[in-house]
């Protein structure tokens, strides 16, 4: 499954990069395949691992900020693998060219 998520700390000021870097560090150490984007992070893995990681990130941010907003979008397709790159390749194949992407 693929899951894109964003975690936004509220009440910590305007600069968020240090807070975001802390949770991205957890993602990079998780062993799951991931892509960091400008507005979200996408991870790929089985349901339990993906949801555990997202909640670990959410709870870590809760320790840093008085309020946290977390959004999650899930693409759960039976038997699909390597979709974190495959979805992009599929669209590029239809268009017949490489696209800019995160």
Q: Write the pLDDT tens digit of every residue in 14-71.
A: 999 999 999 999 999 999 999 999 999 999 999 999 999 999 999 999 999 999 999 9
C-alpha 100: how far from its chain's center? 18
What are the structural domains of the chain? 2-95 (3.30.70.930)
Check: pTM over 0.85? Answer yes or no.
yes
- By the 8 A CB rule, do 4 and 33 touch? no
Beta strands in 1-102 (DSSP E): 2-10, 33-36, 41-44, 67-75
More confident residue, 80 or 21: 21
Q: Measure Cα distances from 19 to 22, 69, 70 in Å.
A: 5, 13, 13
């Amino acid at each position: 499954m693929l899951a894109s998520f964003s975690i936004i700390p509220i009440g910590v000021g305007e600069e968020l990069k240090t807070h975001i870097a802390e949770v991205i560090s957890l993602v990079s150490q998780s062993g799951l395949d991931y892509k960091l984007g400008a507005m979200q992070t996408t991870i790929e893995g089985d349901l339990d691992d993906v949801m555990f990681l997202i909640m670990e990130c959410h709870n870590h941010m809760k320790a840093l900020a008085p309020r946290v907003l977390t959004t999650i979008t899930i693409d759960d397709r039976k038997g699909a693998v390597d979709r974190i790159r495959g979805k992009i390749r599929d669209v590029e194949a239809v268009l017949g060219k490489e696209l800019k992407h995160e």
